Structure 1
């Protein structure tokens, strides 16, 4: 039984992030494009590709650290959030059943750290949605890393990157009045259970070398299914769906929710550029029977990439950082015009 399990985990450990090309700002031909994943990857595993596959990931170089996913502004690159979310939720449930004081406590560690408990290949997999969800569940989250300066999985500055992720999540949670309780620190010998974690190309190979106990702690990979672009709900990345889910407790109706998104001013020339470059089609143009047009924004689906802002020919778009909760409940009318360009 164990050999078969090891083989399945070895295969899972080679999973690359899912790339959804219609969400890529290069594919959308946004002005200025985007090179966030290329410049972030510490292993030079990503290179530009042709239209339809605007980036390519070298499976021999990719370690699955997740840093490219962490910085992707549009959700074009993704790992499944479900295993880590489920782990935090399950730890919370176990604490509740043991009558532990609130808030309950959960930990996630990078596999090379050698820490006990649930492990990720690298804390580069931690995103604002995961941190925000722990806050919604009133669960204190400890994120443990190893010697990042010497680790071949991620990058030396992973702790600083994770701290920025936490800051982003806290801005989102500010409207709820219940900030997430998060600690990011290096693992210590007291955190270890079993032998030390060793790594070379990703956490699963590390776990295979560090014994059954740490193998059992690894959060399982879940291959993400194909995105059916004909289904509007699928166009929104899971990261932003979970950010919206994590707005619990519900913010007061007068509280500003941090969710950067575009507004349009009167210099708009009613061209289709903003809708064309939007990577999740959060901006749509609704043609009216009388020949006019309505420009609508689905705030839930907006990732805040601001491709629309950078691409707008007359510069009619600017960012609004905060929105009232009511703005999430129905499409926002950005502009209404009686003619179409």
Structure 2
């Protein structure tokens, strides 16, 4: 019974990421496709196949490092963010008390405290959450040059993830306080520091990590594509949620997304290739069409831009906060192709 409960609380035994085909640019047949996961995998665990089975992950070669998830531009590959977010939240200082550092370590480092199989799993959403909670976060890695789980360039990848996080958080006025460093001898005795409220949950999750090897694989459930809210990956849902404190109304948010100009021929290509259905075509009773953008659902992959036949789509890097509150009208036409 205990193992069943722990399996629901912690996905640390889930070394193979979930693949959601409708979010994959290969499955969407976007121009140029995408092989980011295949190119980034340090263990040759990912193969690119035919339509309908575009991404194939060999569980015997996959180490769960998460680098493929980190580089996926659409969230087609993902791990459950919630256990790691909760781990950082549990280490948060109480109101009125001095800021208390939280930490995440790689499993191979030998450091104490909450760990991930590899810090290649760290994404901007996680770092932005720490920034929103005003929690200084230390990421401790081991000897990446010789690690059998991750890759030698994991520290450099973390630097790029942090840069993306700071661009995201800049309008809030509260950058994420993140330190990336190698393990030291003093880290071996690091204790898990949590608030009293989070102590029990942290203890339970720590126990889950200890028995992770004996817990059967319990992959994330498949995305229910009939629910529009579920089409947006957790990563981008949490990026939007963690934009706290709320940016001023006149300050632009870094959220790359498409704009459409007057050379548009009203074809359906952009909506067809969009991996999260952030772009939709609203057909009107009079025969016209409205092209709408749900900005919060856009991952900025720009498959629409690369696939647009007349090259009528352009990227806009920053948007005012009000643009997240309702669908944006990209184009309105009285005719449809």
TM-score (norm 1): 0.88
Instruction: Tell me the residue number matched to 1:26.
Output: 26
Deviations 1:146-205 (A, max 9, x none): 0000001000000000110011011000010110000000010101139xxxxxxxxxxx
Instruction: Tell me the residue number matched to 2:47.
Output: 47
How many angstroms apart in 2 are the aligned matches of 1:14 and 1:281?
27
Deviation at 1:51, TM superposition (A): 1.9
Is the 8 Å Cα contact of residues 116 and 217 (structure 1) preserved in structure 2?
no
Is the 8 Å Cα contact of residues 25 and 33 (structure 2) preserved in structure 1?
yes
Deviation at 1:52, TM superposition (A): 1.9
CA pair 214-159 structure 1, distance change in 2 beyond 3 A: farther
Instruction: Tell me the residue number matched to 1:249.
Output: 245
Instruction: Tell me the residue number matched to 1:207.
Output: none
CA pair 257-7 structure 1, distance change in 2 beyond 3 A: closer
Root-mean-square deviation (CA, aligned residues, Å) is: 2.6
Is the 8 Å Cα contact of residues 267 and 316 (structure 1) preserved in structure 2?
yes
Instruction: Tell me the residue number matched to 2:255.
Output: 259
Which of 176, 179, 184 is matched with 2:180 structurally? 184
Q: Does 1:163 align with 2:147?
A: no
How many angstroms apart in 1 are the aligned matches of 2:249 and 2:320?
6
Paired residues for 1:47-66 under 5 Å: 47-66=47-66
Is the 8 Å Cα contact of residues 117 and 217 (structure 1) preserved in structure 2?
no
Provide the secondary structure at the position in 2 that maps to 1:295: strand
Q: Does 1:87 align with 2:87?
A: yes
Deviation at 1:22, TM superposition (A): 0.5
Is the 8 Å Cα contact of residues 9 and 208 (structure 2) preserved in structure 1?
no
How many angstroms apart in 1 are the aligned matches of 2:80 and 2:10?
17
Structure 2, unpaired ranges of 5+: 191-205
Which of 87, 91, 101 is matched with 2:98 structurally? 101
CA pair 316-8 structure 1, distance change in 2 beyond 3 A: closer
CA pair 159-214 structure 1, distance change in 2 beyond 3 A: farther
Provide the secondary structure at the position in 1 that maps to 2:146: coil
Instruction: Tell me the residue number matched to 1:36.
Output: 36
Q: Does 1:137 align with 2:133?
A: yes
Q: Does 1:311 align with 2:314?
A: no
Deviation at 1:13, TM superposition (A): 2.8
Paired residues for 1:214-253 under 5 Å: 215-216=209-210, 223-253=219-249
Deviations 1:266-323 (A, max 9, x none): 1100000000000000000000111100000000000000000000000000100000
User: Number of paired residues?
Assistant: 319
Deviation at 1:96, TM superposition (A): 1.4
Q: Does 1:153 align with 2:118?
A: no
Provide the secondary structure at the position in 1 that maps to 2:101: strand
Deviation at 1:45, TM superposition (A): 0.2
How many angstroms apart in 2 are the aligned matches of 1:335 and 1:286?
10
Provide the secondary structure at the position in 2 that maps to 1:129: helix
How many angstroms apart in 1 are the aligned matches of 2:5 and 2:143?
28
TM-score (norm 2): 0.89
How many angstroms apart in 2 are the aligned matches of 1:142 and 1:263?
38
Provide the secondary structure at the position in 2 that maps to 1:131: helix
How many angstroms apart in 2 are the aligned matches of 1:191 and 1:29?
47
How many angstroms apart in 2 are the aligned matches of 1:246 and 1:50?
37
